[in-house]
Amino acid sequence: MSDIVTVKAPVNIAVIKYWGKRDEDLILPLNDSVSATLDTSIMCAKTSVCARPEFKENEIWLNGKKESFHSPRLQNCLKEIKSRAAAENSVNEDFLQWKVRVCSENNFPTAAGLASSAAGYACLVTALAKLYKVKSDVSSIARLGSGSACRSVYGGFVRWHAGTNPDGSDSIASQIKGSAHWPEMQALILVVGDTKKKTSSTTGMRISTQTSELLKHRIKYCVPQRTDEIIQAIKEKDFPKFAEITMKDSNQFHAVCLDSYPPFVYMTDVSHLIVDLIHKYNELSGSTKVAYTFDAGPNACLYLLEKDVPQVLSLIRHVFPSSNPHQFVTGLKTNEVAL
Ligand code: DP6
């Protein structure tokens, strides 16, 4: 039997954004967030791990390139997996001493605001949990790699509870509804640019937490109500409500970036063209048929129902003829993590 564990993890795209930390080391957020997990068939991370007595040191390869294993986030994830394994008595002492080898790949633009770190860390931690036979909640371990990664551990619609405990023990993800609940829901990713962003999410969040008045307002007055409402909309499959909250929350997140000092921007002119296009389309349709959301990058994620995909795709292809830099990855369904 092979001693190599291989796992695939999906991208998740937040509809209530996580932005700002109350603890940077433990990666504890200021607010709850909600996301949909996308099918692994088109975009995903894939990670293989193994531990052997002959390995001299821990090693990691990312997309075929050897990287340093010394990143504190990586170290924290491995440390936590091993301490859980020790507490759960799931593997023997010798196995815990062996060094690991990690090989990870993803098939989407890295660091362009396409949640690559979320899928990457969810994948790594799930693979390590399998290797060390850890049974307890892995979302809180994935969170130590990258906050949003904790939501990729589940399929369907997921909530990350900010929690209040200083040790982060209640800052975990839970599934709101599985993918079978709303199979008509689709996501279209519009790749506007794939260059590395100037301000990383981690840095941007730090600046916003320290300087943005709007962020304080958002966390106190907007996010709690929006979280309750969007969960209700998901449960009732109320697309117009889901869409309105999604768009407002994306817009507020980018407004927070501008309200930060110094300000930083992730959306480009093309991103704003997409926003205008979607609002015009919804207006002409007489109902809200499409929602956009933008993470820390220029790329759009559109949420829409399956029946509207052909018309929206032809509209997008008409407005942005399918030349670079606009590529359209289509037909993503929210789905369970296929391990
Ligand atoms: C805009 O999870 O990448 O995508 O925890 O510092 O690694 P770190 O940040 P990260 O931030 C994601 C921010 C976001 C919104 C979201 O996914 O909720």
Whole-number Å distance between alpha carbons of 47 and 29: 26
Pocket test for ligand 1, best of 12, 18, 218, 223 (most atoms within 8 A of CB): 18
| 282 pLDDT more than 50 | yes
Residue 111 Cα to ligand 1 middle (Å) = 11
- The residue among 196 and 19 whose pLDDT is bigger is 19
| Phi/psi at 34 (5° precision) | -135, 140
Q: How many CB atoms lie within 10 A of CB 294?
A: 26
Is 188:313 a contact under the CB 8 Å cutoff?
yes
| 1 pLDDT more than 80 | no
- 5-178 topology per CATH: Ribosomal Protein S5; domain 2 (3.30.230)
pLDDT tens per residue across span 155-165: 999 999 999 99
> Count of residues for the chain?
339
Residue 143 Cα to ligand 1 middle (Å) = 10
| Phi/psi at 59 (5° precision) | -135, 145
Query: What was the pLDDT predicted at 237?
Result: 97
Q: Is the pTM of this model over 0.90?
A: yes
Cite the residue boundaries of each domain of the chain with CATH code 3.30.230.10: 5-178
Query: What was the pLDDT predicted at 132?
Result: 97
Structure tokens at 156: 């369907």
| 212 pLDDT more than 50 | yes
* Least reliable range by pLDDT among 112-121, 188-197, 293-302: 112-121
> With bands split at pLDDT 50, 70 and 90, how would you rate the model's confidence at 332?
low
Residue 18 Cα to ligand 1 middle (Å) = 6
Cite the residue boundaries of each domain of the chain with CATH code 3.30.70.890: 185-329
Mean pLDDT of 218-225: 98
Query: What was the pLDDT predicted at 337?
Result: 56
pLDDT tens per residue across span 167-208: 999 999 999 999 899 999 999 888 887 667 789 999 999 999
Structure tokens at 133: 């036979």
Query: Is the CATH number of domain 185-329 3.20.20.370?
Result: no
Sign of CA dihedral 11, 17, 20, 23: negative
Is 37:10 a contact under the CB 8 Å cutoff?
yes
Q: Are strands 59-62 and 99-106 parallel, antiparallel or unpaired?
A: parallel
| Protein residue with its CA nearest to atom 3 in ligand 1 | 201
Is 195:211 a contact under the CB 8 Å cutoff?
no
Single out the residue of 292, 326, 65, 297 nearest to residue 195, CA to CA. Answer: 297
The position carrying tokens 């730090």 is 206
| 329 pLDDT more than 70 | no
pLDDT tens per residue across span 46-59: 999 999 999 999 99
